[in-house]
Amino acid sequence: MSSELIRKLLLKNVEVPEPPVAPQETPSSPEQEHTEPTETAPAPEAQPGQEAQKPKPVPRIFSMTYPDAAAFTRLFRTIKDLIDDEVTMKVDMNGLRITEMDPSHICLVDIYLPPQEFARYKFESPTDAPAYVILRVEDVLSCLKRANKKSDVTISMAEWEDTHGQVDVVLDDARRKKEYMVYAIDDKPYQVPLPKISSTAEFVVVTKAMKEILEDMQVRSDDCTITTDRESRRIIFSSQGEVGKAKTIIEASDPSLLSSVVSEDAKATYNLPMIMSFLNLMSSESAVTVSYGTGMPIKIHVDYYQNGGYVDFYLAPRVQ
| The pLDDT value given to residue 25 | 46
Rounded mean pLDDT of 171-193? 90
Domain spans of the chain? 58-183, 197-315
Average model confidence (pLDDT) across the chain: 83
Q: What is the pTM of this model?
A: 0.79
Lowest mean pLDDT across 13-27, 60-74, 104-118, 180-194: 13-27
For the ranges 36-40, 76-80, 119-123, 146-150, the maximum mean pLDDT occurs at 119-123
CATH of 58-183, one of 3.100.10.20, 3.10.20.30, 3.10.150.10, 3.40.718.10: 3.10.150.10
Residue range 220-236: average pLDDT?
94
Least confident piece of the model among 10-19, 71-80, 88-97, 200-209: 10-19
Of the pLDDT bands very low, low, confident and very high (cuts 50, 70, 90), residue 48 is low
Please provide the CATH number assigned to the domain covering 197-315. Answer: 3.70.10.10
Instruction: Indicate the pLDDT class of residue 156, thresholds 50, 70 and 90.
Output: very high
Q: What is the band of 213 on the pLDDT scale with cuts at 50, 70, 90?
A: very high
Q: What is the DSSP string of the chain?
A: --HHHHHHHHTTT-BPPPPPPPPPP-PPPTTT--PPP-EEPPPPPPPTTSPPPPPPEEPEEEEEEES-HHHHHHHHHHHHHHT-SEEEEEEETTEEEEEEE-TTSSEEEEEEE-GGGSSEEEE--TT-PPEEEEEEHHHHHHHHTT--TT-EEEEEEE-HHHHTSEEEEEEE-SS-EEEEEEEPP-S---PPPBP----SEEEEEEHHHHHHHHHHHHTT-SEEEEEE-TTT--EEEEEEETTEEEEEEE-TT-TTEEEEEESS-EEEEEEHHHHHHHHTTS-TTSEEEEEE-TTS-EEEEEEETTTTEEEEEEEPPP--
